[in-house]
Amino acid sequence: MNRKFLRGLRKALAAAFAATTLSAAHAVPMFESGDAGQLPAAAQAAGAGVDSIVGNLDNSFDVDLYRLVLGGGLFSATTLPGPDCCGVGADTQLFLFNEAGMGIVANDDEPFGGTQKSFIQALLDPGVYFLAVSIYSMDPFSVDGFIFPDYAHCCFQPVEGPVWPGGGQPLAGWSVGPAADGSGTQPGSYVVSLSATIGPVDPQPTPVPAPASLVLLGAGLLALTTWRRSFA
pLDDT digits (tens, 9 = 90+) for 131-167: 999 988 899 999 999 999 887 655 667 889 999 999 9
Band the pLDDT of 117: cuts 50, 70, 90: confident
135 strand-pairing partners? 92
- Which tens digits make up the pLDDT trace of 25-46? 456 899 999 999 999 999 999 9
Phi, psi of 37 (to 5 degrees): -70, 175
Average pLDDT for residues 11-15, to the nearest whole number? 47
Question: Coil, strand or helix: which one is 212?
Answer: helix
Number of H helices, E strands in the chain: 2, 13
Phi, psi of 99 (to 5 degrees): -60, -30
DSSP conformation letters of 119-171: EEEEEE-SEEEEEEEEETTEEEEETTEESS----TTS----B---TTGGGS--
Q: In terms of pTM, does the model score above 0.85?
A: no
**Residue 91 and residue 183 in contact, taking contact as beta carbons nearer than 8 Å:** no
Phi, psi of 215 (to 5 degrees): -65, -45
Band the pLDDT of 216: cuts 50, 70, 90: very low
Check whether 226 has a pLDDT greater than 60: no
State residue 142's pLDDT score: 98
105 strand-pairing partners? 96
**Residue 91 and residue 133 in contact, taking contact as beta carbons nearer than 8 Å:** no
Residues 6+ away with beta carbon under 8 Å from 228:
6, 10
